[in-house]
Structure 1
Amino acid sequence: MAKESMIQREAKRNKLINKHQVKRRKIKQDIKKSNDFMSILQLQKQIQKLPRDSMKCRQRNRCWITGRSRGFYRDFGLSRHMVREMSHECLLPGVKKSSW
Structure 2
Amino acid sequence: MAKKSLIARERKREKLVARYAEKRQRLKEAGDYEALDKLPRNASPVRLHNRCKLTGRPKGYMRKFGICRNMFRKMASEGKIPGVTKASW
Q: If the length of structure 2 is used for normalisation, what is the TM-score?
A: 0.96
SS where residue 46 of structure 2 aligns?
helix
Cα RMSD for the two superposed structures = 0.7
Shift of 1:55: 0.6
Query: Which residue of structure 2 aligns with residue 44 of structure 1?
Result: 33
Distance in 1 (alpha carbons) for counterparts of 2:25 and 2:11? 21
Query: Which residue of structure 2 aligns with residue 2 of structure 1?
Result: 2
Is residue 65 from structure 1 mapped to residue 64 from structure 2 by the alignment? no
For these two proteins, the number of residue pairs brought into alignment is 89
Higher helix share: 1
Query: Which residue of structure 2 aligns with residue 92 of structure 1?
Result: 81
Specify the code of the residue in structure 2 equivalent to 1:5: S
User: Percent of pairs identical after alignment?
Assistant: 45
Distance in 2 (alpha carbons) for counterparts of 1:9 and 1:99? 41
Higher alpha-carbon Rg: 1
Query: Which residue of structure 2 aligns with residue 23 of structure 1?
Result: 23
Structure 1, unaligned stretches of length 5 or more?
32-42
Distance in 1 (alpha carbons) for counterparts of 2:88 and 2:56? 29
Shift of 1:99: 2.6
Q: Which runs of 4+ in 1 moved over 3 A?
A: none
Structure 2, unaligned stretches of length 5 or more?
none
Distance in 2 (alpha carbons) for counterparts of 1:92 and 1:98? 14
Specify the code of the residue in structure 2 equivalent to 1:72: Y
Shift of 1:66: 0.4
